[in-house]
Structure 1
């Protein structure tokens, strides 16, 4: 007779960022609930947004955490129907194509293990029905914050109230429970255009949020009080007749230090930071895929130079002027920094500034005593990393749900100032860069933001304390699994 074990199966969306988030959740579960004696099984897709760094990362985690088991699904090649299909639409198509492989793997695992729960990435809703049909309780892991969760939960109602694409609704504000008003043209990119298949996939995902047994959110209650309340009270779920999913705020989950395998020269910046005065350096980084045109890079450079402040700036390979987006898939392509920055800039600022190409160890950078400000693209992982480090921020949203996060950072948390972006192309002038750097580093408002950031740093630490809100939420989550499938 085959011995039956107990496992929790996790299913991340493609891409290293989504995988790291799922692994961090897995490590948290194993660390806080060692007495439960369950293993973690993570299903990995193959054929879209693959990268050599994923394999090395998986190997490292497998060696250090043998209770985390990885299964790579069969390779699937996505063929797009048009050359204009959005990246989001292609991603959804790829995830849906994997549904049959996910079902096969769940059935295979079920032969030797009791699957206590199936935790899917928020974009993998297409796998929800197959697990439910097998009697496996499905939970959604929401890697963004509670404000975005509230907006997405409310999206089916917003959808029903208009027939126009949001990108055409200039001057119109979207109001969702738990959120500050948001310009319609700044809604998350996958829902901007009703002609894009991604719009309808997002609607499907948002409609299915309320069908999960529970939603695990990478935030902590004290960070997003208004948004958490809106979700827990059910204000953002249009179908109030349905039994609402339980909400588990178990963050902040952030990547461990030194998790990247990018160029080692990025780490040289740490020794440079250690030589700078306390709270004197402004750190600029725009995520794993955020980039700019050469024209925008030169404006940033001029603003930094005029500000007079020390800076550490991560510059990625520039996008084309007519690219129409601030995302670049290959951020590590070879390019010369001197060719994309103003003539003589690096030489003129070498006594107080450092420019690194493509990558820096962000978690370690933010923890350095010399870092006094963080210019961020408002990606949720970066927001949490800034919060945990207690570093005040300058909010410069680029794509996805980052404009929603910008509102939370500036208006609710009050841990950031925001850059003013021109309408249409969202361009930011050098004068604006200088102004916001000075505001954060020199003004009374900047001092208030700094003090509030340090308070949130303490709250983030306390959330994982013995009686912390995230610790309690995690315990409640595991308890629900025990009630469903007693050990």
Structure 2
């Protein structure tokens, strides 16, 4: 019976980590051949994160957590902090995964690397997965309605050339396939109504 290992890379915040770990629990409970290693990027000391990780490590022996080297942000580039964080951690991720692969190759009974599961904010780690020749899967920690809203607003921008920031303070209502009721446009997430932040979002989409 062949064993498999997935590498999970969540966004380094308690809200994203908890929902991602819950999915990992479901996966290992469904198949005893599966093991999961989380690669944790640490920014600031957060006792909630450490306490949560300790509790999961104690309860699940097929879910492990490896902490990557702490990233020191560049104070001169505050707007690019998260992009810089992900890019700086690529060598550390590659090193950790190389260790997993080496252990697996030296002991046939250990699980083999099967893929990466990435937070939507960590998609540039697909490059690392490609180097190991394994697939990448994106896990969205928010709801399906939230994803549908993002697709809807992106389509407005790309296909109908509508600037979503024009909805700020508007009385218009938006009818979206992902929502049961019309959404007042002025209640769109603030990032979509801020010209600078919205421009960065569209460029990265």
Given that 1:46 and 1:72 are in contact with CA atoms closer than 8 Å, whether structure 2 keeps it comes out as yes
Structure with a larger share of its residues in helix: 2
Distance 1:65 1:127 in 2: 26
Task: Describe the SS at the equivalent of 1:195.
Answer: helix
Deviations 1:391-415, CA, capped at 9 Å, x for gaps = xxxxxxxxxxxxxxxxxxxxxxxxx
Q: Shift of the alpha carbon at 1:166? A: 4.9
Instruction: Tell me the residue number matched to 1:65.
Output: 60
Relative to the length of structure 1, the TM-score reads 0.36
Instruction: Tell me the residue number matched to 2:93.
Output: 102
Distance 1:41 1:8 in 2: 6
Pick the aligned partner of 1:112 from 79, 103, 106. Answer: 103
Distance 1:181 1:23 in 2: 33
Is the aligned partner of 1:25 residue 2:23? yes
Task: Describe the SS at the equivalent of 1:159.
Answer: helix
Pick the aligned partner of 2:40 from 26, 37, 44. Answer: 44
The 1:15/1:6 distance shift into structure 2, 3 A limit, reads same
Given that 2:5 and 2:114 are in contact with CA atoms closer than 8 Å, whether structure 1 keeps it comes out as yes
Instruction: Tell me the residue number matched to 1:144.
Output: 142
Given that 1:192 and 1:199 are in contact with CA atoms closer than 8 Å, whether structure 2 keeps it comes out as no
The 1:152/1:176 distance shift into structure 2, 3 A limit, reads same
Given that 2:164 and 2:193 are in contact with CA atoms closer than 8 Å, whether structure 1 keeps it comes out as no
Given that 1:26 and 1:40 are in contact with CA atoms closer than 8 Å, whether structure 2 keeps it comes out as yes
Q: Shift of the alpha carbon at 1:153? A: 3.2
Task: Describe the SS at the equivalent of 1:178.
Answer: coil
Given that 1:166 and 1:184 are in contact with CA atoms closer than 8 Å, whether structure 2 keeps it comes out as no
Q: Shift of the alpha carbon at 1:194? A: 3.2
Given that 2:71 and 2:85 are in contact with CA atoms closer than 8 Å, whether structure 1 keeps it comes out as yes
Is the aligned partner of 1:194 residue 2:203? no
Instruction: Tell me the residue number matched to 1:75.
Output: 70
Distance 1:102 1:21 in 2: 21
Task: Describe the SS at the equivalent of 1:111.
Answer: helix
Instruction: Tell me the residue number matched to 1:157.
Output: 155
Task: Describe the SS at the equivalent of 1:170.
Answer: coil
Distance 2:172 2:187 in 1: 10
Equivalent residue runs for 1:152-231 within 5 Å:
152-160=150-158, 161-163=161-163, 165-166=165-166, 168=168, 170-179=170-179, 180-196=181-197, 200-201=200-201, 204=204, 207=205
The 1:104/1:193 distance shift into structure 2, 3 A limit, reads farther
Q: Which runs of 4+ in 1 moved over 6 A?
A: none
Distance 1:174 1:39 in 2: 43
The 1:25/1:199 distance shift into structure 2, 3 A limit, reads farther
Instruction: Tell me the residue number matched to 1:369.
Output: none
Q: Shift of the alpha carbon at 1:184? A: 3.4
Deviations 1:333-376, CA, capped at 9 Å, x for gaps = xxxxxxxxxxxxxxxxxxxxxxxxxxxxxxxxxxxxxxxxxxxx
For structure 2, the residue ranges without an aligned partner over 5 or more in a row are 105-111
Task: Describe the SS at the equivalent of 1:124.
Answer: helix
Given that 1:166 and 1:185 are in contact with CA atoms closer than 8 Å, whether structure 2 keeps it comes out as no
Larger relative contact order (Cα-Cα within 8 Å, sequence gap ≥ 6): 2
Given that 2:157 and 2:163 are in contact with CA atoms closer than 8 Å, whether structure 1 keeps it comes out as yes
Given that 2:42 and 2:70 are in contact with CA atoms closer than 8 Å, whether structure 1 keeps it comes out as yes
The 1:64/1:111 distance shift into structure 2, 3 A limit, reads same
Q: Shift of the alpha carbon at 1:72? A: 0.8
Count of residues in correspondence between the two structures:
194
Instruction: Tell me the residue number matched to 1:15.
Output: 13
Task: Describe the SS at the equivalent of 2:137.
Answer: strand
Larger Rg: 1
For structure 1, the residue ranges without an aligned partner over 5 or more in a row are 208-487
Distance 1:80 1:186 in 2: 33
Is the aligned partner of 1:53 residue 2:48? yes
